[in-house]
Amino acid sequence: MKKTKNILATAALSIGLLLPGTLTFAQGNSYSISKPADSIRPFKIHFSDAALKDLKKRVQATKWPQKETVTDATQGVQLSTIQKLAKYWTTQYDWRKAEAKLNSYPNFITNIDGLDIHFIHVRSKHPNALPIILTHGWPGSIIEELKIIDPLTNPTAYGGKAEDAFDVIIPSLPGYGFSEQPKTTGWDPTRIAHAWITLMKRLGYKRYVAQGGDWGDAVTEQMAVIAPAALAGIHTNMPSAVPAEISGALWSRQAAPDSLNADEKRAYEQLDFFFKHGLAYAQEMGNKPQTLYGIEDSPVGLASWILDHDIRSYELITRTFDGVPEGITKDDVLDNITLYWLTNTAVSSARLYWENKLIFFQPMNVKIPVAVSAYPDELYQAPKSWVEKAFPNLIHYNRLPKGGHFAAWEQPASFSQEIRTAFKSLR
């Protein structure tokens, strides 16, 4: 029987990924198929050379459209930008470096509510480290959180103190990365929040904190509502804090109310721009995610769909491929896109928009301690007045001078410091 298991495992490795929930990587060259329902199994990431060659071949075979008829990005991702990305993807980019980075951290799989969930779990060497669960969003992944693992778990090496240390848990959302793709409906942010609460309990943590932006905010705030006794507090860089009257004005396409102060007016203008020009992807994924076969079949199609998330992130990425590094590198961008491609999660990740029942940016009645870091190039830089109204137990608020939607990825130093400061009073 052992010989048979090893043959099966070798076959799985030869085609690329160790399939979540099917085979478990163990010490040496042995593999085990047995898996108790609540077991936590080590996980190794590996894709075959054939999968990487196929990716390169598909990028090189891209059927390009004509150049846009404008000189800016008002018609979408510009041809010159995506062609620079494609050229780098096929001539210089090396996925194996990303794979090695991911495997340098302890990766695990566990089954929760019938679904195999992947997560990274790094324990600090410092005593009394505070457990923190970090949740990514779309079109992000665990890739966007990697730069803050070391600063949080080993703060003394990054200008912090031993008492600032965290144990870090980073799960992949269902249908994203290495987590299993749901085969039935119902996996919305609230159900994911329940799963994360189960995960933390399974890891032995009775008291912990949570952080998230984008979908990560929705999941994190729902955790705060569901399990206030377990969560000491939460931190978010994209809070659900837009007052109802402001949301109503935005959806009805009204001009900014005269009563707004300068910070509120700027936030209103940011949201107004996003609702008018940046919601197309969310509307399509929220209504017909299964229609997006093109981004599952074309790497360049997937890349352009991911790049066109919000205008500030797009400008950041464009500068990067124009040779002006700003927070993220070309490899950073392609690590994330390649992860989506190799795991075949373009459509499964999009379904989260279809599943969601929450209203974007609407307060969720969170009562526990909340910390907010407001970055200037986020979808909106949340004004303190709105945040104070949404979170009656606000313990930290800071307006940062630099950073956008992928703050942990773009500005890991300031982001790590924000998390340390945010939760200092809760230790």
Q: Catalytic amino acids?
A: 214, 353, 405
130, 161 contact by CB (below 8 A): no
Are the C-beta atoms of 385 and 264 separated by less than 8 Å? Answer: yes
Q: Where are the alpha helices (DSSP H) in 278-406?
A: 280-287, 293-297, 299-307, 311-321, 330-342, 346-355, 384-390
Strands 130-135, 24-25: pairing kind:
unpaired
Going through 30-161 in order, the beta strands assigned E by DSSP cover 31-32, 40-42, 107-112, 115-122, 130-135
Which string of DSSP letters, residue by residue, matches 161-225?
-GGG-EEEEEEPPTTSTTSPPPSSS---HHHHHHHHHHHHHHTT-SSEEEEESTHHHHHHHHHHH
> Order of strands across the sheet with 394-399?
40-42, 107-112, 115-122, 166-171, 130-135, 208-212, 231-236, 370-374, 394-399
Helix (H, G, I), strand (E, B) or coil at 404: strand
The two tokens of residue 26 are: 């163990």
313 phi-psi bin (left φ>0, alpha ψ -120 to 50, beta other): alpha
Q: Which H or E run contains 394? A: strand 394-399
Residue closest to 108 by CA, chosen among 168, 41, 171, 169: 41
Of 355, 320, 324, 350, which is closest to residue 335 (Cα–Cα)?
A: 320
b/e code 336-349 from CB counts within 10 Å (16+ = b): bbbbbbbbebbbbb
Which neighbouring-strand residues pair with 176? none
Question: What is the pairing mode between strands 231-236 and 208-212?
Answer: parallel
CA distance readout (Å), 299 to 59, 142, 345, 381 = 6, 19, 12, 32
CB atoms closer than 10 angstroms to residue 112: 21
Asked if the peptide bond before residue 289 counts as cis, ω within 30 degrees of 0, the response is: no
What is the C-alpha to C-alpha distance for residues 387 and 375, in angstroms, rounded to an integer? 13
115 close to 179: Cβ distance less than 8 angstroms: yes
